[in-house]
Amino acid sequence: MACNCANQYKKLDEKDIKFLIELLGEDRVFIGENINEDFSHDELGGISKMPDAVVEVQNTEEVSKIMAYAYENNLPVVARGSGTGLVGASVPLHGGIMINLTKMNNILEIDEENLTLTVEPGVLLMEIGKYVEEHDLFYPPDPGEKSATIGGNINTNAGGMRAVKYGVTRDYVRGLEVVLPNGKVIEVGGKVVKNSSGYSIKDLICGSEGTLGIVTKAILKLLPLPKKAISLLIPFPNLEKAINTVPKIIKSKSIPTAIEFMQREVILAAEEFLGKKFPDNSSDAYLLLTFDGNSKEDIERDYDRVAQICLEEGALDVYITDTDERKEAVWSARGAFLEAVKATTTEMDECDVVVPRNRVAEFVKYTDELQEQFNIRIRSFGHAGDGNLHVYVLRDELSQEEWEKKLSEVFECMYKKSVELNGLVSGEHGIGYAKRPYLFEQYGDDYMELMRNIKLAFDPKNILNPGKVCQ
């Protein structure tokens, strides 16, 4: 089922490089040893391949000309942002041209009457947050990796912690400028709030992992900035009790901004990693909830109700983290979980399945069983409020051979379990290269064929990021 397209492409030659240099100048075309090794992989690491050329683009016209040329000459192209992906989506499997979009990083317009922000794709998530907050506005999507580009976020339909209340990246993309594989430029959506004007190509581009078109501009939806936020750290005697409380919170009329779950061992790793104490580490499991609103009273009414629910369901206590110091202690730990877990082992791989919210406890319990069964360390934390788990399988002292075998068996079990619970392969990290087998297995031939047909509708020569998602 994998893409057997390697032979169909032309190998980049002198003439092609000359074209690129004429278009961009020598300073923005990198070949051979001048290409930084970073461009051969993303954060996943397991899969890597050097592109034949990396080009730094500055505007839509350049992207369009490169694509038109590549299309004409049958050259594979991969577009890349910060390279913070976790599934190998931006690895140039067939070499060719890599378009580096990180210098197209201008914030073009903030429109305070329509509550939109227009940006180039290379703007970093952290820059967007900072910029709009200075205007008393709010861009809700909040993936953990703040140094990702907005282009990358759009292409993975990135989620993050605030999805419980605010939804995911797709929900905040109003319009896109897209360069198609043949170099044509289209604008989809716009500043409008509603749209029933033909097939929603905007929504198809969101989450397509750079395979259907290259986003060169995005119009994002903003909200008024909530004035206050408060977090509650709630210890439970065990994880099951903690997670089983979540559907009851969801059903209450107080919608938290985020509901995260964490276990003692992950907290201890974070404390060691940061050299800082978490406000409490004496319990086995915790829920971390955030509430936002426009006044302290609004928020208090909301969290009072939720705290009550938690206590009724067996919570041991409720810590209110309303001081800056406490907030910092909690959220810096939460922010460091991934790195902290990574620091305890030699190598790890992760799965970000999403299951219905009332099946999270069952899934985590199953990973505990797998840990015993395969005698391998598994750590998880994640978004209890939206059913999206991040489960890390740790290599520790396993040999390469043992590691590959066990990892593959454990992943196979986890994805099977996810299907059984009506879950899906990826909640927010995407499919890229690494998760294709699990997607193929879950969706089956008819569904995958339809996706491949859609890919060909955009890219009949299959030159844009080939070998990914559905190929």
Query: What single-letter amino acid sits at 334?
Result: R
Provide the H-helix boundaries in 46-177.
Answer: 60-73, 125-134, 150-156, 163-166
Residue number with CB closer to a copy of itself (390 or 395): 390
Among the residue ranges 55-63, 324-332, 333-341, 386-394, the one whose residues contact a copy of itself (CB under 8 A)? 386-394
**Span 140-179, contacts to a copy of itself by CB under 8 A:** 156-159, 163-164, 167-168, 170-171
DSSP classification of residue 262: E
Decide whether 28 or 191 has the Cβ nearer to a copy of itself.
Answer: 191
Question: What is the C-alpha to C-alpha distance for residues 164 and 464, in angstroms, rounded to an integer?
Answer: 33
- Indicate the residue among 22 and 449 with the shorter CB distance to a copy of itself: 449
- Provide the minimum distance between the beta carbon of 241 and a copy of itself in the complex, in angstroms, as a whole number: 16
Taking alpha carbons only, the member of 51, 61, 4 closest to residue 29 is: 51
The maximal CA–CA distance of the chain, rounded, in angstroms, is 72
- Per CB under 8 A, the segment of 40-48, 223-231, 263-271, 307-315 that binds a copy of itself is 223-231
Q: Is 361 in the site for a copy of itself (CB under 8 A)?
A: no
Q: Within 10 A of 186 (CB to CB), how many other CB atoms are there? A: 12
Question: If binding is defined by CB under 8 A, does position 206 make contact with a copy of itself?
Answer: yes
Residue span binding a copy of itself (CB under 8 A) among the ranges 66-74, 203-211, 341-349, 368-376: 203-211
Within positions 248 to 307, which residues make up the interface with a copy of itself, using CB under 8 A? Answer: 250-253, 255, 294-295, 298, 301
Segment lying near a copy of itself (by CB under 8 A), choices 4-12, 69-77, 235-243, 417-425: 417-425
Residue closer to a copy of itself (CB basis): 333 or 431 = 431
| Binding positions for a copy of itself, 44-83, rule CB under 8 A | none
Minimum distance of a copy of itself from residue 376's CB (angstroms) = 25
Query: Which residue from 26, 27, 113, 397 is in contact with a copy of itself, where contact means CB under 8 A?
Result: 113
Span 431-450, contacts to a copy of itself by CB under 8 A: 431, 439, 442-443, 446-447, 450
CB distance 38 to 431 below 8 Å: no
Please name the residues in contact with 397: beta carbons below 8 A apart, sequence gap of 6 or more: 346
CB of 34 to a copy of itself, least distance (A): 34
Exposure pattern of 227-262 as b/e (b: 16+ CB <10 Å)? eeebbbbbbbeebbbbbbbbbebbeeebebbbbbbb
Helices (H), 375-458: 400-420, 436-458
**Where would I find the H helices in 103-260?**
125-134, 150-156, 163-166, 201-205, 239-251
CA distance 79 to 92: 9
Query: Binder to a copy of itself among 7, 196, 282, 399 (CB under 8 A)?
Result: 196
The single residue among 8, 114, 281, 371 that binds a copy of itself, judged by CB under 8 A, is 114
CA atoms of 21 and 53, how far apart (whole Å): 11
Vertex 153 angle, CA 90 and 451, to 5° = 65
Does the protein bind a copy of itself through residue 247 (CB under 8 A)? Answer: yes
**Where does this chain touch a copy of itself (CB under 8 A) — which range of 23-31, 47-55, 368-376, 455-463?**
455-463
**DSSP conformation class of 52:** S
Q: How far apart are CA 21 and CA 29, in angstroms?
A: 6
Sheet containing strand 53-56, strands side by side: 29-31, 53-56, 97-100, 77-80
Q: Which is nearer to a copy of itself, 378 or 424 (CB)?
A: 424
Binding of a copy of itself by 215 (CB under 8 A):
no
Q: Applying CB under 8 A, what is the total number of residues that bind a copy of itself?
A: 88
Q: In the structure encoding, which two tokens stand for residue 13, read together?
A: 């030659």
Positions 301 through 340 that interact with a copy of itself (CB under 8 A): 301
| 453 contacts a copy of itself (rule: CB under 8 A) | yes
Options 22-30, 66-74, 396-404, 456-464: segment touching a copy of itself (CB under 8 A): 456-464
Residue with tokens 């092609």: 16
- Cβ proximity to a copy of itself: between 35 and 68 the closer is 68
Written as six digits, the tokens of 28 are 């923005």
Instruction: Identify whether the C-beta of residue 51 lies closer than 8 Å to the C-beta of residue 11.
Output: no
